Amino acid sequence: MDEIDRKLIGLLQEDATRSYATLGAEVGLSGGAAHERVRKLRERGVIRRTTIEVDQAALGRAVTAYVLVDGGTWMGDSGRALAAIPEVEEAHVIAGPASVLLKVRTSGTTELQDVLRRLFQVDGVTGTQTVVVLETFFERTLT
C-alpha cells in the first residue's frame, strides 16, 4: 500500500459517496485508475465494507457504555451469543482487568440494565463492570 492508497482510503472514510472521478482528481489519478485502486483495496480486504455514519442519539440510542466482561474461556458460541444481542456494537477479547470489552448503545439506563441481565445469560460470563459515557469529545474513524 502506498501513499495514494492511503489518501484514497482517507477520502472514502470522509465521504464514501465521492465519485471515482472526484477521488482520482483529489489524488492525481484518472477516475478509472482510482476505481481500479479501490477495487484492489477491496479485493485485498483493506476496505472491508462501505457504510454510513449515523447519529445514534437521533435513532433513540443516546446511552453509550463500555462493559468489561469477566469470564472463562471465550471460545465456541460465546462470540455468537454476544453478537446476537443487538445493542452490542463491538466485542473485543482483551488483555487486562477482564476477558472481553463490549461497546453497547441503548435508549436509556433501563435498557442498559436489561442488556447487562442478558449478558449474564451468555455461557461463561461471571461478572461485568460498566462505564457509562457522559459526553463524547470525538470519535476518530479516519486513517
**Pair 30, 61 in one domain:** no
**Pair 31, 76 in one domain:** no
pLDDT one-digit tens code per residue, 41-77 = 999 999 999 888 889 999 999 999 999 999 876 666 7
**Pair 28, 74 in one domain:** no
The structural domain count of the chain equals 2
143 in a domain, yes or no? no
139 in a domain, yes or no? no
Q: pLDDT class for 143, splitting at 50, 70, 90?
A: low
Averaged pLDDT of the chain: 93
Residue-level pLDDT at 53 = 85
pTM, entire model = 0.81
Mean pLDDT of 4-28: 95
140 in a domain, yes or no? no
Q: pLDDT class for 116, splitting at 50, 70, 90?
A: very high
In this predicted structure, the answer to whether residue 137 has a pLDDT above a threshold of 90 is yes
DSSP-derived secondary structure for 49-117:
-------TGGGT--EEEEEEEEES---TTHHHHHHTSTTEEEEEE-SSSSSEEEEEEESSHHHHHHHHH
**Pair 110, 79 in one domain:** yes
In this predicted structure, the answer to whether residue 142 has a pLDDT above a threshold of 80 is no
CATH number at residue 68: 3.30.70.920
Domain that holds residue 65: 57-132
Residue-level pLDDT at 76 = 64
50 in a domain, yes or no? no
**Pair 71, 37 in one domain:** no
**Pair 24, 62 in one domain:** no
